[in-house]
Chains A and B, each alone.
Chain A
Amino acid sequence: SQQGEEDPQALSIQEGENATMNCSYKTSINNLQWYRQNSGRGLVHLILIRSNEREKHSGRLRVTLDTSKKSSSLLITASRAADTASYFCATAPGQAGTALIFGKGTTLSVSS
């Protein structure tokens, strides 16, 4: 079963704009991770935020986590055409060692 639900399903923006994607999940988590997938390629890990963290930054990425609302957001600032990809949130359930559960993803298109 898929726990995470990303919103929106698709997002189109211009280069230089910011892109925000949201993720909601259902059960308690150990951590939440975001992955990127370019067309026809494997998934690449972007950032991990633990359940006791509220915000995390990595380069142009900013992730927030609200465990009370069971939701997370990924902000990509100053988007580039190379950011065009599908973005997935993945939750690591509360029990350590359990496999990641992925959402359906948000498809981001950045035009120059």
Chain B
Amino acid sequence: EAGVAQSPRYKIIEKRQSVAFWCNPISGHATLYWYQQILGQGPKLLIQFQNNGVVDDSQLPKDRFSAERLKGVDSTLKIQPAKLEDSAVYLCASSLVGRRRNTEAFFGQGTRLTVV
């Protein structure tokens, strides 16, 4: 089966510019996550969707980050305006997890963002 697809793989922008990342989860996976991974650290959850509804966005810096999952499939994550500290790898993951149990998450290759 096809894995989680993300684009672009790499992006370099100047601070205060905007950027958008795209994710296509595994077909049939109702749950989609966006994680931020700063160099040398573990992934940190930004937002979790269940179908097209937000389950958890408590750690999303909402003054500059936004995410949507139209029609419960693809998702986009946007940063506007970007700051230097946003330099990180942005990972999208999907899973079959529902309200009753937790299962493994499948990750995309990530988008490496560099803000200069």
Contact = CB atoms under 8 A, between A and B. Distances in A.
B77 interface: no
Contacts of A44: 107
Q: Is the interface of B mostly helix, strand, loop or mixed?
A: loop
B25 interface: no
Interface string B61-80: 00000000000000000000
Interface residues of B, number: 32
B19 interface: no
Nearest to B34: A99
A41 B109 contact: yes
Interface string B33-69: 1010000111111001010000110010000000000
Contacts of B55: 97, 99
A42 B109 contact: yes
A96 B102 contact: yes
Given A99-B45, A105-B42, A30 B107 contact: no
B5 to A, nearest CB: 11
A88 to B, nearest CB: 5
B27 to A, nearest CB: 18
A104 B42 contact: yes
Nearest to A44: B107
A42 B42 contact: no
A35 B42 CA distance: 11
Interface in A98-112: 98-105
Contact of A2 (B4, B31, B42, B110): B42
A33 to B, nearest CB: 6
Nearest to B41: A104
Given A42-B91, A42-B109, A45-B105, A96 B41 contact: no
Nearest to A105: B42
A31 interface: yes
Interface of B: 4, 31, 33, 35, 40-45, 48, 50, 55-56, 59, 91, 93, 97-110, 112
